[in-house]
Structure 1
Amino acid sequence: MLTMSRPSLRTDIDAAFIATRSPWEVVEPMWWSVSVFDGPQQYERDLQRFSREQRLMFACMCYVGEVNTGGHEQFYANNVGIVWRDALAGFQAFGETEVARILEASVERLGGAPSLDRSERFAYLLRLRPDFRDLDERFYRLESSRPLQDSLARTMRRNPTAFLMSGLIPDAAQA
């Protein structure tokens, strides 16, 4: 089992924190307690203790981070590609329709429903060899014209109660 291990984390994400921090800082405790490494069942189990909005924001931030550092190919090739469905649902729910369209187009290039299993997804990438360059460019242009961090932060600030987090957040390996 491959996980990023650390002791349980005490966190207090309150409305004041949400009002002044980035979306990644708000959902960052989830990175340590949600395994993207151990398959779909573990991913689902780990997410049960979080709100739907937290789940979707976490997935959106994972997608943004991966695409910004290596494009859609990196997103799908890495373990974090397991979040693609939640990221798509998140962008749709949060009113980020252009990002949702970009992600939907990338999904179609991987057969319409990429596997949540990393090795299967990677095999699809090798077999289909999708060209994501145009989608990467669309995403980068969108990000440079209006950073997603800013619009997603406004989304969180409109409904901070959905993103509150307090208490001991167990490590994914311990959960």
Structure 2
Amino acid sequence: MSMSVEQFLSLSDAEQLQTIKDLNDIGQEEIIIDVLTGVGIDNLSVPLLGELGRAYNNNDKPEEAIKVFKTIDTEHRDAVWHYRCAYSHGSIASTNHEAYTSENMQQMLALVDNGVRLATKEGRNDIKEYCFEVMDMCRLQMDFEKCEVDYPDLCLNYSKYIAEKKKKREGVPRQRTITVEEILATDDMWTINEPAYWTINIYGSYDNYLESAKGFTVEQRYLNAICWYFAEVNNGGHYQFFYNSTGIVWEDALAGLRLFNMKELADNFQSVLDFFGGTVPFDRAERWYLLPQSENNPEFFDFLDEKDDVVYEYEGIFEDVFVHEHPELFVFDGTYTVSE
């Protein structure tokens, strides 16, 4: 997809904003940046400036995002502005492993503090949660004892957010029986994978991951890993897959692709791993350290784009074939917990 400055300017104001929002929603940040900078920052409305800053954030250019956000007058700095600007500073602090006392970390906290207050006032619970997610992103460098002294109200609200998130994760039990007949009758692998999806823990240590998967066959574990792999890569590429907690399943995803006779995808994923020396850490914090180092390689993002395209073009039949050929390996009869 492409768009020229002339095409953009031919749209009405409402159409311009909606077009840019839609492009942001589908991950076309480079098009947004090219078009809006082509129009000229001084010629953009406040909403378009916000979308440009958002695009810079989503394109891993938080420093550029901050420059854009600073051009927005104080009277227009609502809860969304505070969240987006906080994300910029938090992204820099997290990537650079900056200490709690760093300028970026302190800027992030001040912006989140104000953002939560404004979001509460504006009735924007979604933005309030997004602000807390920025703190989640920086949690490895957070000094929460010091933070409670510096930002008592924020930390109190953040604690409530954590407690509520934990409560949601505890969820409600669901009884399910998945038979050979049901497996043979469906092409929806997410339905077959549902018990494993809700049970296998990808958010802790690798030992936790393996322990939580003990009630499933190896093949069910592999199917779950493949489902996570497709979901993340199709949403934000291999970079997102490794950056998020899902990266913990990389070894099972590769083994599953090979076992399920998905050779082209397995070879494609293996080449990504080879770029990192043949393996990546299971620990998410270690992957966070690894990824920025790779960004220094000028070929890194072009290489990943090429590998992402292989997955984007995949039509999704081979795992269905394997599951249908071996349905007895994917049956389930038991209880699992679903988040509310």
TM-score, length-scaled by structure 2 = 0.47
**Which runs of 5 or more residues in structure 2 are unaligned?**
1-161
Distance 2:279 2:308 in 1: 19
Aligned residues: 167
Alpha-carbon separation, structure 1, partners of 2:181 and 2:198: 22
Partner of 1:165: 332
What does residue range 26-37 of structure 1 map to in structure 2 within 5 Å?
26-37=192-203
Question: Does the alignment pair 1:113 with 2:113?
Answer: no
Report the alpha carbon displacement of residue 27 of structure 1 after superposing the two structures with TM: 0.8
Stretches of structure 1 lacking an aligned partner (at least 5 in a row): none
Determine the C-alpha separation between the residues in 1 that align with 2:170 and 2:268: 33
Residue equivalent to 2:310: 138
Number of the residue aligned with 1:11: 176
Question: Aligned residue for 1:45?
Answer: 211
Separation in 2, partners of 1:106, 1:169: 34
State the percentage of identical aligned residues: 28
Opposite residue 165 of structure 1, the aligned amino acid is: F
Distance 1:70 1:88 in 2: 18
Q: Which has the higher helix share?
A: 2
RMSD: 1.8
1:97 paired with 2:269, answer: no
The whole-number CA distance in structure 2 between the counterparts of 1:5 and 1:68 is 28
The structural deviation recorded for 1:7 is 2.0
Amino acid at match of 2:254: L
Q: Deviations over 1:131-170 (max 9, x none)?
A: 21110112222x1xxx22x221121111100000111125
The corresponding residue for 2:320 is 153
Q: State the Cα distance separating 1:105 from its structure 2 match.
A: 1.0
Q: Does the Cα contact within 8 Å between 2:193 and 2:223 map onto a contact in 1?
A: yes
Deviations 1:28-81 (A, max 9, x none): 121111110012011010011100110111111110111111110010001011
CA distance in 1, matches of 2:210, 2:275: 25
- Distance in structure 2 (CA, Å) of the matches to 1:17 and 1:6: 25
Check whether the contact 1:110–1:125 (CA below 8 A) recurs between aligned residues: no
Alpha-carbon deviation of 1:171?
6.6
Which structure's relative contact order is higher, taking Cα pairs within 8 Å and 6+ residues apart? 1
Structure 1 segment 67-86 matched on structure 2, within 5 A: 67-86=233-252
